[in-house]
Structure 1
Amino acid sequence: MMSQKMMTMVKVWRRVIPLKMRLLLIIQWEMFLLNGTRMKSTLDMILLGRRLRRKRKIYDEYNDEIVELTKEETRMIRRVLKGMAPHPEFDPYPTAVDWVTIDKAEHPFPDAPEPKRRFVPSKWESKMIVRLVRGIRKGLIKVDDKPKEENRVYLLWGDDRNLTERHHIPPPKPKLPGHEESYNPSLEYIPTAEEVKKYELMYEEDRPKFIPKRFTSMRSVPAYDKAVRESFDRCLDLYLCPRTQKKRINIDPESLKPKLPSRKDLKPYPTTCYLEYKGHKGPVVSISTDSTGQWIASGSNDGTVRVWEVESGRCFRVWELGEAVQHVAWNPSPELPVLAVSVGQDVFLLNTGLGNDEENRRVDDLLHVESHMAHNEPGASEAIISETIVKWSRDDNHGAIRLNHYKTVSSVEWHRKGDYFSTLMPYGESKAVLVHQLSKGLTQRIPFKLHGLPVSTAFHPTRSIFFISTKKNVRIYDLLKQRLIKKLETGVREVSSIAIHPGGDNVIVGSKDGKLCWFDMDLSSQPYRVLNCHPKDITRVAFHRSYPLFASSSDDCTAYVFHGMVYSDLNQNPLIVPLEILRGHASVNGRGVLDCKFHPRQPWLFTAGADSVIKLYCH
């Protein structure tokens, strides 16, 4: 029966009282039950719920009191229940503001101008400095007052404690016996009776310590008579001789070699003998090519000068001079096909006749001897030599001009413009080097004092500089300022020839001890490289006009070809690479290749030998 009444009360409860009121009554009922207080009636409970709801009061169970909520707190609770921020003023997604701008600011943020005191020396700092200076002068303030160094007391033998920490150097091991100390050595180790006698005549220091002998068996080997002596000497060495520990560095020998480019990358250069020019009956001492590269001239000891066509090898013309030719030099100007030949004390200026009609007519007018008497005029310079030293005359036999000197002329060198040329008389003393002008027929000596016996001369390819090589060094003179610029110290036994690089800043020097020296005049007066390439005397060295090549010829019947690259960058040194060894000439009376010249336009090399043959080597 009770269960039915309860069910009926629950139904009435649900119909009469709303849901919120029911929840509030249940909460208040439990609250009063916990506090030990019980409601008087249901009406009191309903009135209490209405009062709490109207005044927004809640019971604080921790502090046991009823707390009244404000509207803001109620609003905050409702926002939290909805999942929103407690404060309505809070914006969870504010608008982004860029504090750093990309645009360049034209004015500073603090726009206040700098005060004047920042640009004016401080008055109070100056007073402080004056006060410090006065204090230093009066001695009240001491500057760099270093403490006095007291004599440090130390133990006299205090360093001996560290001797145990030093590394122990083991004694050297004795030499192990070799094959010669065998009881049955090979026959090549057994000396003959004559060799044994030679050993006995030697000093004890140079004499071998053991003479090998041969025995039939090991049982027949006697006792070593020097065993005690050698053991005693070794003990003395271990006891008396100090030991040193040598630091050996393991270096790969290949890393010490210079890294040079491959020869295949440096082509073209002469490698093969392409053509031979035969016709001379004596050694060919000098050769020279014209500026076009079509013709080559050669001079021989048989007293003839020949002009050859390069491509075909045909002998175009022969001059019989009747005396051994010393040197031939072709005029570098293509408009003047003139060949200078030194024969004994004479220098011939020959008209080769290889130019056109206008060029030949100009050469004939230039070689007319009557137009070369300007040195007899009263206003001549003091440097001009009289006719007793050099005489200009007409040679009708060869259609040339003859310059008669008072000593033997060894070489002739042309200036790059083709109007001036120099002659060298090694034993001419103060007038050993003379400079001649072809257009005016003038001869003058250089205003420099020669130090030593001159060997060869050369003009600078681009500047007014003159090179004179003696047996020991090379002197460089400025013709305009008439002074010595530099002296190149070769360090060789005797200089034989020189050659100037087309750029003018590098010189190669050949010597009679087989050494070739490369000088970089911008770098030093000492050789940049010294190449020991030939076992015999170097007779001639030469540079190519356009290719980075240079060559040297020697009495060992060979000619060496090198790659010599000169860079415009002054911080980079020249690159020198050996390329090829050219062989083919035969030795006659101990002489081999006497001269070598490059083709002016092609990477070809001409060599003249003592076997009366001229060879052309091509790539």
Structure 2
Amino acid sequence: SSLIGYGRGDVRNTVGNIPMEWYQDYPHIGYDLDGKKIFKPIRNKDELDEFLDKMENPDYWRTVHDKTTASDIRLSDEQVDLVHRLQKGQFGDASFNEYEIHSCSSGPIVEKKKILIPFSVSKMVHAIKMGWIKPRKPKETTPQYYDLWAKEDPNAILGRHKMHVPAPKMRLPGHEESYNPPPEYLLTEEERLAWEQQDPEDRKLPFLPQKHSCLRAVPAFSRFIHERFERCLDLYLCPRQRKMRVNVNPEDLIPKLPKPKDLQPFPTTMSLVYRGHTSLVRSISASPTGQWLVSGSDDCTVRFWEVNTGRCLKTLEVGGAVKGVAWNPNPAVCLVAVCFESTVLLLNPALGDRLVVGATDQLITSYEPPEEDKEQAVTWALSEGPEHDKGHRLTLTHPKGVKQVVWHGKGDYLSSVMPDNTSNLQVLIHQVSKRRTQNPFRKNKGLVQCVSFHPLRPYFFVATQRCVRVYNLIKQELTKKLTANCKWISSMAIHPGGDNLICGSYDCRLAWFDLDLSTKPYKMLRHHKKALRGVAYHKHYPLFASGADDGSVIVCHGMVYNDLLQNPLIVPVKVLRGHQITHDLGVLDVTFHPTQPWVFSSGADATIRLFT
């Protein structure tokens, strides 16, 4: 390496005459005489700093940059004079006489040369004066241009003048391209992941260094077949455009849901089986305290069960197959509504607190309707004699067959459903304390399947085959119409908060509606393989269940948040099995325990099952 004007205190770089680009990725630039690293000085000059230095520094013209030490060196006057003499083609030493002839010995030869040199010069000057020697005149020649990229043939200009411009040479391979590189050239796992995340143009190396034990273990070109195939595609599909299919990982499409064990409690185990009915158990209902359970069956009986023991306390026979039962949700009233054929019975099972039983009887018998209120669509009759002893209190005779009965949350109003397309008398609302019946709808658009009261507000939900209509009972107007996107709605349940609704259908779908969000389902669940018969919400826990003809009850976690900007969280947590499929029917009704995370189900196998 060239060393210019180093003093005793200067550092000498001992790497030799090599390209200094080899050290551009290292913090040092070479080694000194003692073998220690010469670290690069901090040089943050850009073109603007270089220009200002050129304008303001008076010694800029005599400053050179030494690549071997990466430092700027100011040349002295002697060094500047040496550079100027070398640029003019003169000798470096100013005291050197280029015309002096040096000889090892002085003798007669030197004296003869002193005589011969002036003689020959004078002779040539005389010849020029006499015209014997004429000076050469310069030839007038035109400039010639050469085609550097001409073909190499004898007639070409490049071939005649033997000019050759070699092609640029490729960079020599480094240690990282070896089949057995040193360990420091192999990438660690973190460096490999960082290399894969970088863009191809930002990578320092276009490949990953690999280590092989021997040369015969080096694999062949791995993309040979792929590139040959791409080449064939280019040859016969050149006028077309090939679109690469987007490769999507199926696991990325599955939403990230919490694990079921983090969403406990929910029913997991079948604890009790209530046996006693001899035919289909179509409807069940639990008392407000959770101590008793009532069930209605096609064997024309209504049975009352003790929940914790599974013991049947009372059995009442009615005049037809029971289509629906509903326990009054008011704990201060002990009444059970039972519908069969065209009759709705209000029963007092006389279970539980005797004060509540007596207060209920007194409430029913104390009211005497006036004469003008007796002409109604439904006939009210107060039970007496043997029927009163069995528990019958009021009998409501309807003009057509009743399919469903449902109570209002306060326990005074009762609604009954008589599905019939030919009549406008499909939904009736009864007030028990005044024994009064009213028809809230002049026209019913479609065949009514089921109805439900809003748990907090004066809203009334009416479900037909394809949609659910929400009515405001105070304003007496239609508030909202929900489209279920299913063929035939079978059941319906309202969330205790009142802002969400689920509908089961005979085409194996369960639709969750968010009333504040849209009139279309927020989510459609297709977990069952056969028709859904019953759906239910829990009053306190974020749970809802659905029963279907496949003999299973599916329990889902349905969390509704107070923040309106956060959507409900719906997670299936458990599939409960136990019912036997009978006559192609499975689970006919489901209901939750009012206080515990338990669920009851009734099936076509004439049993009622409790899952805890």
**1:575 aligned to 2:563?**
no
Compute the displacement of 1:372 (Å). 4.6
Number of the residue aligned with 2:393: 400
**Which residue in the other structure is 2:497 paired with?**
503
Q: Distance in 2 between matches of 1:291 and 1:508?
A: 22
Tell me if structure 1 keeps the 8 A contact 2:450–2:491: yes
Counterpart in 1 of 2:363?
Answer: 366
1:177-213 per-position Cα deviation (integer Å, ceiling 9, x unaligned): xxxxxxxxxxxxxxxxxxxxxxxxxxxxxxxxxxxxx
- Give distance in 1, aligned partners of 2:510 and 2:401: 27
- The counterpart of 1:308, out of the listed 305, 308, 311, is 305
Task: Tell me, yes or no, if the aligned pair for 2:545 and 2:554 is still in contact at 8 Å.
Answer: yes
Q: 2:516 aligns with which of 511, 522, 525?
A: 522
Q: Which of these residues, 579, 586, 610, is aligned with residue 604 of structure 2? A: 610
* Cα distance in 2 between the residues matched to 1:256 and 1:386: 62
Q: How does 1:184-223 map to 2 (within 5 A)?
A: none
Amino acid at match of 1:390: V
Q: Which residue of 2 aligns with 1:391?
A: 379
Change (3 A) 1:238 1:303: farther
- After superposition, the CA RMSD in angstroms is 2.0
Q: Could you tell me which amino acid in structure 2 is paired with residue 367 of structure 1?
A: I
2:415 counterpart residue number: 422
Is the CA contact (8 Å cut-off) linking 2:424 and 2:441 kept in structure 1?
Answer: no
Q: In the aligned structure 2, how far is the partner of 1:241 from the partner of 1:484?
A: 63
Q: AA paired with 2:437?
A: T
Q: Cα–Cα, structure 1 residues 419 and 242, in superposed 2: closer, same or farther, change >3 Å? A: farther
Q: Distance in 2 between matches of 1:473 and 1:448?
A: 18
Q: 1:550 aligns with which of 544, 548, 563?
A: 544
Instruction: Name 1:288's counterpart in structure 2.
Output: 285
Unmatched 5+ stretches in structure 1 = 1-234
The 2-side partners of 1:439 and 1:238 are apart by 89
- The amino acid across from 2:305 in the alignment is W
What residue number does 2:483 align with?
Answer: 489
Which residue does 2:450 correspond to in 1?
456
**For the residues of structure 2 that align with 1:391 and 1:538, how far apart are their CA atoms?**
34
Matched letter for residue 322 of structure 2? V
2: CA distance, partners of 1:444 / 1:587 = 40
Assess, with a 3 A threshold, how the Cα gap between structure 1 residues 256 and 316 changes in structure 2: closer, same or farther. Answer: same
1:150-189 to 2 correspondence within 5 Å?
Answer: none
1:554-575 Cα deviation digits (max 9, x unpaired): 0110111000000000110000
- For 2:282, give the aligned amino acid: V
Q: Secondary structure at the match of 2:424?
A: helix
Task: Find the residue that maps to 1:360 and give its secondary structure.
Answer: helix
Q: Which has the larger radius of gyration?
A: 1
TM-score by length of 2: 0.59
Task: Report if aligned partners of 1:595, 1:609 keep a CA contact under 8 Å in 2.
Answer: yes
Residue number in structure 1 paired with 2:405:
412
Q: Which residue of 2 aligns with 1:354?
A: 351
Shift of 1:242: 6.2
Is residue 424–residue 432 contact of structure 1 (8 Å, CA) maintained in 2? yes
Q: Which aligned segments of 4 or more residues in structure 1 are displaced greater than 4 angstroms?
A: 237-242
Could you tell me which amino acid in structure 2 is paired with residue 433 of structure 1?
Answer: V
User: 1 CA distance for matches of 2:331 and 2:531?
Assistant: 34
- Report how far residue 431 of structure 1 moved: 1.4
Alignment-derived partner of residue 463 in structure 2: 469
Going from structure 1 to structure 2, the CA distance change for 1:242 and 1:322 (only over 3 Å counts) comes to farther
- C-alpha distance in structure 1 between counterparts of 2:240 and 2:290, whole Å: 70
Aligned residues: 375
Counterpart contact for 1:391–1:405, Cα < 8 Å: yes
Residue 320 and residue 241 in structure 1: after superposition, are their counterparts in 2 closer, same or farther (change >3 A)?
farther
- Alpha-carbon separation, structure 2, partners of 1:308 and 1:438: 25
> 1:256 maps to which residue?
253
> Mean Cα displacement is larger for which, 315-324 or 413-422?
315-324
8 Å CA contact 1:493–1:512 kept in 2: the answer is yes
Corresponding residue of 1:232? none
Query: Conserved in 2, the CA contact under 8 Å of 1:309 and 1:316?
Result: yes
For 2:404 and 2:279, locate their aligned partners in 1 and report how far apart those are by CA, in whole Å: 19
In the alignment, is residue 269 of structure 1 matched against residue 266 of structure 2?
yes
> Distance in 2 between the 1:457 and 1:322 partners?
24
- Please state how far the C-alpha of 1:481 moved relative to its aligned partner: 0.5
Matched to 1:474, the amino acid is V
Shift in Å at residue 269 of structure 1?
0.4
- What is the CA distance between 1:400 and its match in structure 2? 1.9
Aligned mates of 1:244, 1:474 — CA distance in 2:
50
Q: Taking structure 1 as reference, are residues 441 and 241 closer, same or farther at Cα in structure 2, changes over 3 Å only?
A: farther
Give the SS at the match of 1:431.
coil
Distance 2:471 2:590 in 1: 26
Cα pair distance change 1:372/1:415, threshold 3 Å: farther
CA distance in 2, matches of 1:607, 1:405: 29
Give CA-to-partner distance per residue, 1:144-188, whole Å, 9 cap, x none: xxxxxxxxxxxxxxxxxxxxxxxxxxxxxxxxxxxxxxxxxxxxx
Q: Structure 1 residues 238 and 518, CA, compared in 2 at 3 Å: closer, same or farther?
A: farther
- Structure 1 stretch displaced more, 295-304 or 239-248: 239-248
Deviations 1:417-452 (A, max 9, x none): 000010000017211100000101000011453110
TM-score by length of 1: 0.59
Task: Give the equivalent residue in structure 2 for 1:227.
Answer: none
1:329 aligns with 2:326: yes
SS in 2 for 1:452: coil
Give deviations 1:535-590, integer Å, cap 9, x for gaps.
11100000000000000000110111000000000110000000111111111111
What is the CA–CA distance in structure 1 between the aligned matches of 2:470 and 2:502, rounded to whole Å?
Answer: 14
Conserved in 1, the CA contact under 8 Å of 2:600 and 2:611? yes
Q: 1:365 to 1:524 in 2, by over 3 A?
A: same
Which secondary structure state, in structure 2, belongs to the residue aligned with residue 367 of structure 1? Answer: helix
Distance 2:259 2:514 in 1: 24
User: What do residues 214-258 of structure 1 show as CA deviations (whole Å, max 9, x unaligned)?
Assistant: xxxxxxxxxxxxxxxxxxxxx9x9979963321433332211110
For residues 247 and 373 of structure 1, the distance between their equivalents in structure 2, rounded to whole angstroms, comes to: 80
Q: How far apart are the structure 1 equivalents of 2:353 and 2:611?
A: 30
Q: Does the CA-based 8 Å contact 1:492-1:513 persist in structure 2?
A: yes
Once residues 601 and 487 of structure 2 are traced to their aligned partners in structure 1, the CA distance between those partners, rounded to angstroms, is 25
Deviates more, 1:347-356 or 1:578-587: 347-356
Q: Distance in 2 between matches of 1:449 and 1:521?
A: 24
> Distance between the aligned counterparts of 2:332 and 2:352, measured in 1?
8
Q: Does 1:532 align with 2:526?
A: yes
**Counterpart amino acid of residue 375 in structure 2:** S
Could you say which residue in structure 1 is the equivalent of 2:141? none
- Residue 360 of structure 1: CA displacement? 1.9
State which of 503, 507, 511 in structure 2 corresponds to 1:513.
507
Structure 1 residues 55-76: Cα deviation after superposition (integer angstroms, max 9, x where no partner): xxxxxxxxxxxxxxxxxxxxxx
SS in 2 for 1:358: helix
Structure 2, unmatched stretches of 5+, are 1-231
SS at match of 1:457: strand
The SS at the match of 2:409 is coil
